[in-house]
Amino acid sequence: MLTALNSAVSGLDAYQEQMDIIGNNIANLNTTGFKSATGNLADAFSDTLHAATAATGTDNATNAMQIGTGVNTVSITNDWSQGNINSTGLTSNLAINGNGFFVVQDPITGAQYVTQDGTFSINATGNLVTSNGMLVLGNATAGSPPTGAGPIVINTTGMPPTSSPTATMLSYTINTQGIVTVNLSDNTSFARAQVTLQNFTDPQALASVGNNLYSNMANAGGLAAPGTPGSDSLGTIESGALELSNVDLSAQMASLITAQRAFEANSKIITTSDELLQDMVNMKR
C-alpha cells in the first residue's frame, strides 16, 4: 500500500508538470516564432521481489518479479516544425521559410543568441534590431554580395561611386537570400548588408532564456558560421511577414484533458491507499 501511495504521488508530480508544460504552450498560442513543448514520461526504478534465474538441470528458468515505484518526467522536447507564416506588410519583419535561426547580439554584453522571432525594426542609428533591442547579425559590409560578419546597419554607407554623393535613402528591400538592398533618391541602389541564418544538428540542446531567445548554441551543433539563406539546408527569408506559433490548440486541449484525468486517477489511488491504511489501524480496536 505504501508503494502504491508513493507511486501515486510521483504520478501527481509528473502530471502536474505535464499540465505546466501544456499551460505554457497555450499561454504562448500567439507568441511569434514560439515552438510548443512536450513532456516525456518514463517509469521509475522497480523494486525486485524475485530476481530472474536461468534454467539449471531439471529446474526451469524463472522470470523476475518486479513492482514499479512510479513515473518520472525524463525529458521535455520542443516541436521545431514551422508555424504558419503571416503577412504583416512591414519590410523589417522577417520570417524563415524552412530551417534556421536568426543570430542576434546583446549590444551591452556582446552575448549572442538565436531566435525564430523576426519582429525586427530599424532603430535611430540604422541598426536592424529585435523588439527588445538586440542587434541582428549578418554580413554587414556593402558589396555584391555583402561580406564581413557584424551587426546589420541599413543606411547609405558603402553606396557605389556611380551614385550621387548627396543621395539619400528612400527605401530598402530584403530578398529571399537575406540581401538588404538600399534604394537611393537618385534612382540607384546597392546591396548594403545580408541577413544570415544559423542551423543546428541538435536544436533540442538549445536553452530558452526568455524573450524568444535561445542560448547554448555550442552544444546544439551549429554551423561553423551562419550561412546564406537558401543554401546548406537553410530556409529562405520572407520579408514583410512573421512566423506564428506552431501550437495546435486542439491537440493541447486534448492533452490537457488526458493529463487532468490521469491526475485525478492518481489522486484516487492516494485516497484508496489512505482508506486501506485507516482500515489496518482500526483493526486493533
How far apart are the C-alpha atoms of 225 and 229, rounded to whole Å?
A: 12
The CB density around residue 74, as the number of other CB atoms within 10 Å, is 12
Q: Which residues contact 216 (CB under 8 A, 6 or more apart)?
A: 205, 206, 207
Residue 117 sits in the same domain as residue 212: yes
How many Cα neighbours within 13 Å face the side chain of 163?
Answer: 20
Residue 14 sits in the same domain as residue 141: no
Residue-number span of the structural domain to which 97 is assigned: 85-243
28 within some domain: yes
Residue 121 sits in the same domain as residue 232: yes
Residue 40 sits in the same domain as residue 74: yes
Residue 211 sits in the same domain as residue 122: yes
Split into its structural domains, the chain has a count of 2
pTM of the predicted model as reported, rounded to 2 decimal places: 0.87
Q: Which residue has the cell 512510479?
A: 70
Nearest to 53 by CA among 45, 41, 44, 61: 61
264 phi/psi in degrees, rounded to 5: -65, -40
232 within some domain: yes
Q: Which residue has the cell 534590431?
A: 129
Residue 165 sits in the same domain as residue 271: no
69 within some domain: yes
Beta strands in 79-164 (DSSP E): 85-87, 94-97, 101-105, 112-115, 121-122, 128-129, 135-141, 147-151
Nearest to 136 by CA among 226, 58, 50: 226
Residue 185 corresponds to which amino acid? Answer: S
Residue 266 sits in the same domain as residue 199: no
Q: What is the full per-residue pLDDT of the chain (285 aa) written as tens digits?
A: 578 888 899 999 999 999 999 999 999 999 999 999 999 999 887 777 777 777 777 777 777 777 778 899 999 999 999 999 999 999 999 999 999 999 999 999 999 999 999 999 999 999 999 999 999 999 999 999 999 999 999 999 999 999 999 999 999 999 999 999 999 999 999 999 999 999 999 999 999 999 999 999 999 998 889 999 999 899 999 999 999 999 999 999 999 999 999 999 999 988 988 888 888 788 866
- pLDDT recorded at residue 155: 96
Q: Which domain-ending residue is among 212, 228, 243?
A: 243
- pLDDT recorded at residue 202: 95
Helix, strand, coil fractions of the chain, as percent rounded to 5: 25, 35, 40
Angle between helices 2-27 and 249-282 (to 10 degrees): 160
Q: Which residues contact 149 (CB under 8 A, 6 or more apart)?
A: 137, 138, 139, 140, 196, 225, 226
How far apart are the C-alpha atoms of 175 and 145, rounded to whole Å?
A: 12
How far apart are the C-alpha atoms of 138 and 151, rounded to whole Å?
A: 6
Asked if 237 contacts 98 with a C-beta cutoff of 8 angstroms, the reply is no
201 within some domain: yes
Residue 97 sits in the same domain as residue 72: no
- pLDDT recorded at residue 2: 74
Residue 95 sits in the same domain as residue 227: yes
